[in-house]
């Protein structure tokens, strides 16, 4: 059986060294560029007509814009609208990386923890800075839950701080684990199809078709969850609900 | 015990985390369906929360899978 982990292997396409660091153009870089190019193509080329009755491309661009705009409005509120661009960029980038990974023989950028952790760390650091910029040192009150007995506070503050600090880890591992587990499972079932041959291979093939549908759902869902959790964290930093 | 065998057993044990994810996803969809049948008009408004809960519950099981993979491929 072929190793199901080989699909995540990073290959150097163009060797490049920068100040002693390995900055080669890899297949991961290629698929990130492809994702950005497709997003730009869909939004810029799709909106070139600016028609009142949109074409298919234009309504795709408008739909995704409206979808994220509603998400930000519902979860952060009207004063969160100025953070719409970053949420939109994150959502579209993760969505397109996941969806490009669903194409056969392609590479899933988001199945590498370093990529998702970089995105999650960006969200975490940005949200923390926004919290301190909005509330000053009053942001520390975020870690003190209201309406609990004073005796419990030392314990609860520690728990709150730990749960706040694990946010980037859970945000990144959720996306990475979902993508990697899904693609590994598809590969394993693909090996079953080959292994059972023409006579017995139809049953796992039927499973493969169903799982591919599920994986496309998961690819969208994980991008959605990533964006909505970014919104929830932003809302915490801006309004400090507790 | 042979360390290689212990590694495989450990990875298998770590996959038990998926039991919890299965229970969680079942609870989420079951309760959503129950609520949706009682009050169908309120169901579409909670669909986003349903998907969020599904993804959060599924991720918890996948953390166990990540631990299994770390045991298998890192050590």
Structural domains of chain B, count: 1
pLDDT at A79: 85
Give the pLDDT confidence of B8-43 residue by residue, as tens digits.
999 899 888 889 999 999 999 999 999 999 999 988
Longest alpha-carbon distance in chain A: 69
Q: Do B55 and A5 touch (CB under 8 A)?
A: no
CATH number at residue B31: 1.20.20.10
Q: Is the pLDDT of residue B53 over 70?
A: yes
pLDDT at A1: 63
| Domain residue limits at B22 | 3-73
ipTM summary value: 0.76
Q: Is the pLDDT of residue B75 over 90?
A: no
pLDDT at A16: 77
| Phi, psi (deg, nearest 5) at residue A185 | -60, -45
pLDDT at B23: 94
Share of chain B above pLDDT 70, in %: 100
pLDDT at A242: 52
Whole-angstrom Cα distance, residue A164 to residue A116?
18
Q: Do B65 and A174 touch (CB under 8 A)?
A: no
Whole-angstrom Cα distance, residue A50 to residue B66?
46
What Rg value do the Cα atoms of chain A yield, rounded? Answer: 22
The minimal CB distance from A181 to the residues B56, B62, B73 is found for B62
**Is some CB atom of chain A closer than 8 A to the CB atom of B59?**
yes
The minimal CB distance from B52 to the residues A176, A180, A225 is found for A225
Q: For residue A26, give the 3-state DSSP assignment.
A: strand
Q: Are strands A12-14 and A21-22 parallel, antiparallel or unpaired?
A: unpaired
How far apart are the CA of B27 and the nearest CA of chain A, in angstroms?
A: 19
Q: Do B65 and A181 touch (CB under 8 A)?
A: yes
- Name the interface residues of A facing B (CB cutoff 8 Å): 5, 170, 173-174, 176-178, 180-181, 221-222, 224-225, 228
Bin A41: left if φ > 0, else alpha if -120 < ψ < 50, else beta: alpha
The DSSP string of A179-216 is: HHHHHHHHHHHHHHHHHHHHHHTHHHHHHHHHHHHHHH
Give the pLDDT confidence of A20-61 residue by residue, as tens digits.
777 788 888 899 999 999 999 988 888 887 778 888 888 888
Which chain B residues are Cβ-neighbours of A222 within 8 angstroms?
55
Using 70 as the pLDDT threshold, list the residues of chain A that sit under it.
Answer: 1-2, 241-242
**Is some CB atom of chain A closer than 8 A to the CB atom of B52?**
yes
Tokens of A90: 């994150």
pLDDT at A203: 87
């Amino acid at each position: 059986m072929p190793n199901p982990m080989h699909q995540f292997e990073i290959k150097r396409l163009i060797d490049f060294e920068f100040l002693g660091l390995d900055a080669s153009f890899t297949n991961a870089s290629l698929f990130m560029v492809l994702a950005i190019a497709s997003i730009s193509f869909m939004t810029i080329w799709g909106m070139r007509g600016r028609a009142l009755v949109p074409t298919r491309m234009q309504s795709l661009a408008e739909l995704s814009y409206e979808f994220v705009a509603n998400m930000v409005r519902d979860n952060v509120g009207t004063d969160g609208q100025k953070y719409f661009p970053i949420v939109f960029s994150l959502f579209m980038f993760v969505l397109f990386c996941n969806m490009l990974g669903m194409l056969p023989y392609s590479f899933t950028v988001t199945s590498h923890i370093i990529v998702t952790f970089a995105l999650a760390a960006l969200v975490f650091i940005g949200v923390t800075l926004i919290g301190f910029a909005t509330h000053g040192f009053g942001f520390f009150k975020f870690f003190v839950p209201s309406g609990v007995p004073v005796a419990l506070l030392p314990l609860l503050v520690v728990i709150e701080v730990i749960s706040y600090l694990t946010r980037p880890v859970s945000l990144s591992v959720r996306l990475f684990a979902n993508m990697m587990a899904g693609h590994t499972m598809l590969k394993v079932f693909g090996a079953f199809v080959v292994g059972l041959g023409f006579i017995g291979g139809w049953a796992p093939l039927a499973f493969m078709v169903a799982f591919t549908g599920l994986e496309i759902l998961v690819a969208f869902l994980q991008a959605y969850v990533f964006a909505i959790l970014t919104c929830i964290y932003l809302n915490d930093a801006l309004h400090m609900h507790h | 015990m042979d360390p290689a065998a212990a590694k495989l057993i450990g990875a298998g044990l770590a996959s038990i985390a998926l039991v919890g994810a299965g229970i969680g996803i079942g609870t989420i969809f079951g309760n959503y369906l129950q609520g949706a049948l009682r009050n169908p008009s309120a169901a579409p408004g909670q669909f986003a929360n349903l998907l969020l809960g599904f993804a959060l519950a599924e991720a918890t099981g996948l953390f166990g899978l990540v631990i299994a993979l770390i045991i298998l491929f890192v050590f």
